[in-house]
């Protein structure tokens, strides 16, 4: 009888620990940080297929993103899919690409601000123009020649930005804090 009570007490202890763990882990995953595994080569060489990242979802609620930030996004055409891209254009700006050179036009830069893309290894000499509205962003992959991004599917709504990578945990030889940030 005593052994039966110990088994029953052990079971309820386990249930209690699982419940406490879930009360901590689920809100953490939903609101603060979550893992993300890079799939594909659109951010090559900055991020490779299989890189394991931890994504900060909290700071986006308190601070505005910056040009050049790497972000995890929900794909606008299918929000169940997640992509990793770099923020290029911001609300109410004009993004102009001529022979692969990206220039941003806005109130502060009416003559145009040419982006420093010195980190690009796989350029694409394309031409493109986009006018962004309120709460619209323009994102591109670092592998310009092999990225499906705003040049293909249009602007990104602000609410589709999930967060930015704060840790790269895999591969082990590339462990880093705030990976991909210039």
Q: Domain 34-177 has what CATH class?
A: mainly beta
What is the three-class DSSP state of 120? coil
- The pTM of the full predicted model, rounded to 2 decimals, is 0.81
Is 42 a catalytic site residue? yes
Rounded Cα distance, 106 and 109, in Å: 5
Is 85 a catalytic site residue? yes
pLDDT of residue 6: 59
Q: Which of 179, 152, 182 is nearest to 53 (CA)?
A: 179
Single out the catalytic residue among 42, 147, 150, 155: 42
pLDDT of residue 28: 58
Which tokens belong to 7?
A: 């088994």
Cβ–Cβ < 8 Å for 64, 90:
no
* Digit-coded pLDDT (tens) for 104-154: 999 999 999 999 988 899 999 999 999 999 999 999 999 999 999 999 999
């Amino acid at each position: 009888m005593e052994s039966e009570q110990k088994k029953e007490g052990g079971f309820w202890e386990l249930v209690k620990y699982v419940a406490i763990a879930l009360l901590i882990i689920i809100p953490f995953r939903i609101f603060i940080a979550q893992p993300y595994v890079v799939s594909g080569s659109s951010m090559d060489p900055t991020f490779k297929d299989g890189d394991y990242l931890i994504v900060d979802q909290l700071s986006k609620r308190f601070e505005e993103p910056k040009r050049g930030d790497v972000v995890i996004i929900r794909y606008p055409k299918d929000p169940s899919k997640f992509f990793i891209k770099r923020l290029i254009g911001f609300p109410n700006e004009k993004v102009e690409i001529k022979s692969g050179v990206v220039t941003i036009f806005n109130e502060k830069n009416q003559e145009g601000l040419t982006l420093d893309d010195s980190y690009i290894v796989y350029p694409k000499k394309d031409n493109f123009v986009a006018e962004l509205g309120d709460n619209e962003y323009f994102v591109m992959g670092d592998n310009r020649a092999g990225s499906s991004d705003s040049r293909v599917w249009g602007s990104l709504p602000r609410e589709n930005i999930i967060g930015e990578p704060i840790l790269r945990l895999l591969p082990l030889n590339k462990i880093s804090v705030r990976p991909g940030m210039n």
